[in-house]
Structure 1
Amino acid sequence: MENAKVIQSADDIDTLWVIVRCGKNLYGFDANLVGNMIALPQVTRIPDSINYMSGTISVRGMIIPLIDLRAYFGHKSADLVVEEFWDQRLADHKNWLNELKASVDEKREFTLATDPHMCAFGKWYDNYKSDNRILAGILVKFDLPHKRIHAIAKEVSTYVAEGKIDEAHHVIEKTTNTELKAMEKLFDEIKQAAREVARRRIAMVIEMEDRTLALDVDEVVAVERISDYEPAPQYQTSHLGITRIGRRNKNDELVLLMEELEF
């Protein structure tokens, strides 16, 4: 924010902001508008609703709309991101085995990763740590079938070099029906577990003069004052209700301030 014009008033100094995380960004809401923050309850879907309308939830007996803040800002929902990630990792290994078979049939070199630590899933797997015991318990089960899948590349290569094409095909088919099936089952399990974890996200209830609604956010970070502001770039954010950008006093993180709620 160097060289930016700071906007500040007496009201600003006294305003408490509820800062939430959604995706990679922080968003700030006037604490006076935040009526409640609860664990995300069961959502009732509404057919043919606007893309960022997740549905409705019941809060203290009142049915209110739930806004997916990620979708509102044009990003994929957290549920969809998780689904796509695991679906792609399964597809990677199906494609890996298909390419191994094709390399045998077409008598050409197999060029995909044979080291289980070097495929996209392996790189992620080696570096990801989960504090959730259910997720961690499922993840550890991937290690053996994942390594066994990649290990057959060397075995198949040896059979091909010896002219034993039928044996090479047998190894690939057996791995497809065992290790790959095991991984497919684990992917289904972890997607279900991830959905359960996602349901523990926070619903932040916003109480305006004319209506009440809830926002589906990833995390409530803090409730604090912000003393440094600048106007938000109009072409980027003003149409989304973000009029200013603040900087947290604690660590200088940027906060997109939603002051004109237009949901």
Structure 2
Amino acid sequence: MDLINFRVGKKTISLQILDILLTERYEENLTDLPNDNPSFLGVKDYMGVPTPIFDLGIILNKRSSYETNQELVSMLKQREQDHKEWLVALEASIFNDVPFTKAKDPKQCAFGQWYYGFKTENDDLKALLKRFEEPHAKLHSLADKLLVMCAQGHKQEAIDTLAREKSTTFNKLMRLFESARDQIMLDHKPIIVFTTQDGQSPHIGLLVDKVEDNVHCDESDIKSLQEMTSIGFEIDAQTKKLMKGLVKMGKRHSVLIDPSAIFRPEHLQNYEPEETEEYGLF
């Protein structure tokens, strides 16, 4: 069995290559239709066929990848603000002898607690986040260092050191926060996978994060849904309807999806397609 793997959030999903008609970049140019299914995004015309598009992230993860990314961006914005306030507090301690109550351990601030537990499959983001460790740890180490200087009567030296580190270490950290937010949003270029039941006309479109690879697997590599539920593996009703099984690929697994399990909204029967250009096959 030949499969194409796709990334949806932190999950890898697989579709049989015979179920795929084509893929195209999602441009948010769908026709909205009233529907109470949260995963239904709208309709896209392909060769005159009104094709419903569903967000596989919402189906499998209960939320879209866009929402997940937006939350991550907002969190990083807040953590950036935290460190601006951290520096202001340190300045107040050095200049005005105000007690310093912020985290001195880089692993104990809110960002550090997130940072040392966060995992991502995005290699570019992973490399960028790795660059945070040195300036972030160095910034936090300043608190004890400068407060000791002040306690020993070297206040001016502490002030000079703080000014130097503010223009170097602190500014470097601020630029990294901005770069990380940009990286997260720029890297998210979702794709519509148009599926087919007859090999010629589109059935539905599934929104995924990206194409990963193609693989060949034997039937023996697929753990059936019945096998999984019999050992206590719980699957919600909507996912269970879509899922053919779990495909073992070395040390990882992917979810084998049956796109025919998603039905078209009934009101598409009265939808009049717009003229659209023909797209190439996958």
TM-score range, shorter chain: 0.5 to 0.7
Find the counterpart in structure 2 of residue 6 from structure 1: none
Deviations 1:45-104 (A, max 9, x none): 667875324455565787744322111223443333333334323423432453562894
Judged with a 3 Å threshold, the aligned counterparts in structure 2 of structure 1 residues 65 and 249 are, in CA distance, closer, same or farther, namely: same
Relative to 1, partners in 2 of residues 1:45 and 1:155: Cα closer, same or farther, differing over 3 Å?
Answer: farther
TM-score by length of 2: 0.58
Q: CA deviation at 1:205?
A: 0.8
Aligned equivalent of 1:242: 242
Structure 1 counterpart of 2:99: 107
Cα distance in 2 for partners of 1:22, 1:130 equals: 12
Q: 2:23 aligns with which of 7, 28, 37?
A: 37
Deviations 1:113-132 (A, max 9, x none): 2589x93476479x989755
User: Match of 1:207?
Assistant: 196
Superposition pairs of residues 10-25 of structure 1, within 5 angstroms: 16-25=2-11
RMSD, matched Cα: 5.0
Give the TM-score, by structure 1 length. 0.61
Report the residue type matching 1:203 in the other structure: I
Q: 1:112 to 1:67 in 2, by over 3 A?
A: farther
Task: Look up the match of 2:140.
Answer: 150
Q: Percent identity?
A: 14
Q: Distance in 2 between matches of 1:247 and 1:156?
A: 56
Partner Cα distance (1:61, 1:167) in 2: 74
Partner of 1:3: none
Cα shift readout 1:213-255 (whole Å, capped 9, x = no counterpart)? 3212233443534334342649624433235424447668353
**2: CA distance, partners of 1:254 / 1:136:** 22
Aligned to 1:260: 261
- Aligned counterpart in structure 2 of residue 84 of structure 1, from 64, 68, 71: 71
Q: Which runs of 5+ in 2 are unaligned?
A: 265-282
Q: Residue 177 of structure 2 is aligned with which of 184, 187, 194?
A: 187
CA shift for structure 1 position 157: 1.5
TM-fit CA distance, 1:35: 0.9
Residues 207 and 256 of structure 1: CA distance in aligned 2, closer, same or farther (over 3 Å):
closer
Letter in 2 for 1:42: E
| 2:208 aligned partner | 217
Is the 1:248–1:255 Cα contact (8 Å) retained in structure 2? no
How many angstroms apart in 2 are the aligned matches of 1:64 and 1:223?
27
8 A contact 2:244–2:256 mirrored in 1: yes
